[in-house]
Structure 1
Amino acid sequence: MKNKVYIALGSNIEPRIHYLDEAIAELKKHAEINLTQSSAIYETVPVGYTAQSDFLNMVIEVETTLRAVDLLDVCQSVEQELGRKREIKWGPRTIDLDILLYNQESIVSEHLIVPHPNMHERAFVMVPLAEINPDAYIPTRNMTVDAVLYKIPEDEIKGVVPWQTTNGEEE
């Protein structure tokens, strides 16, 4: 069975765009993962631990025959391969891959909670997710992505800025 999954990607260690590109390339290499959509790339200020560089964030949609826990293993191996270190909670990272939604399922296990437990509070997740599927359903909120996004404060949404390279052209 093909499962529709949304994954958030973030990086704030240079070269940020390289880490996003490499993570997507690694996921696409997997025989049981098919990338179907990707959002634009957005630049955002850090949340939680703020003494760090700005992030590049995006969301991708994939179809996979993998179980959620197996997809988590793939995502964590990609993070590890790209040098992710977990030293400071919410700290700098080469790449962060978070499973946001897995079909319309609610999953709670020792290693994985889906829908992602904080996604509804994070404009840097909800803006790119709404870009690719505003009608996706978040079962733990009993709302669509668009409805959740509507509840996020306007100033937080304005902080999710389409990323442009230094020469002014969007990547």
Structure 2
Amino acid sequence: MMRLHDAFLCLGGNIGAPDEAMRAVLDAMDAREDCAVAAVSSLYRTPPWGKLDQPDFLNAAAHIRTSLEPQELLEVCLELERSLKRVRGERWGPRVIDIDILLYDTRSVDLPGLVVPHPRMSERAFVLAPLAEIAPERLVAGARVDALLDRVDRTGVTKITEDGGWWAPMAEER
């Protein structure tokens, strides 16, 4: 029997229709035989981080159950970004979609192009707020996600949906 891993992703975007791009990512993940969406957070409107002269972002977190190894999951994420016309221009710049692997089981991964746990997640309310909603007890550097959220500035981070119901799985049952 294949071993399933718990991966947590952060989804975001601030140009076009980022909520539709995030729905497309979740639909595509859930349609794969090697991935299943286990939980999705509410949508959050968040101010830009790093590069401030751009529109606010929409962000969410997703819990994925997968048989893929971390590098394989990264390749799936990058392919989904490309399929949605993600252009990697300036660092922290505007984007239609961004998919980051935040956590993968309890593993630490340090590969070219992939560091897990995500190296800056504990500084970013736009990551921690949605993640704390679906995985408050998960540990990052020895601290619970919900405790990390209490330590960061949440100014401008606004929950805009009641729950993860903004994404409904595809009609076809697994």
Give TM-score, length-normalised by structure 2: 0.89
SS in 2 for 1:135: coil
Counterpart residue number, 1:87: 89
- In structure 2, the gaps of 5 or more residues are 167-174
Structure-1 residue corresponding to 2:157? 160
Task: Report the equivalent of 1:105.
Answer: 107
Q: Distance in 1 between matches of 2:97 and 2:79?
A: 11
Percent identical pairs in the alignment equals 37
Instruction: Give the 3-state SS of the residue equivalent to 2:154 in structure 1.
Output: helix
In 1, Cα distance between equivalents of 2:145 and 2:65: 19
Match of 1:35 among 21, 30, 37: 37
Distance 1:163 1:17 in 2: 11
Shift of 1:151: 1.5
Deviation at 1:120, TM superposition (A): 0.2
Bigger relative contact order, structure 1 or 2 (CA pairs below 8 A, ≥6 apart): 2
Partner of 2:61: 59
Please list every run of at least 4 consecutive aligned residues from structure 1 whose deviation after the TM superposition is greater than 2 angstroms. none
* Alpha-carbon separation, structure 2, partners of 1:61 and 1:158: 25
CA distance in structure 2 between the aligned counterparts of 1:41 and 1:128, rounded to whole angstroms: 8
- Deviation of the 1:53 alpha carbon: 0.9
Q: CA deviation at 1:36?
A: 0.4
8 Å CA contact 1:123–1:160 kept in 2: the answer is yes
Residue 106 of structure 1 and its aligned partner are, at CA, apart by: 0.7
Cα distance in 1 for partners of 2:159, 2:56 equals: 13
How many residues end up aligned between the 2 structures? Answer: 161
The aligned amino acid for 1:159 is G
Aligned residue runs from structure 1 range 65-144, under 5 A: 65-138=67-140, 141-144=141-144
- Kept in 2: contact 1:5–1:100 (CA 8 A): yes
Q: Secondary structure at the match of 1:73?
A: helix
User: 3-state SS of the aligned residue for 1:69?
Assistant: helix
Ranges in structure 1 where 5+ consecutive residues have no aligned partner = 165-169
Q: CA RMSD for the aligned pairs?
A: 1.3
Give the Å deviation of 1:28: 1.4
Determine the structure 2 residue equivalent to 1:167.
none
Query: 1:25 aligned to 13, 27, 40, which one?
Result: 27
**One-letter amino acid matched to 2:44:** Y
- Following superposition, the deviation at residue 158 of structure 1 comes to 3.8
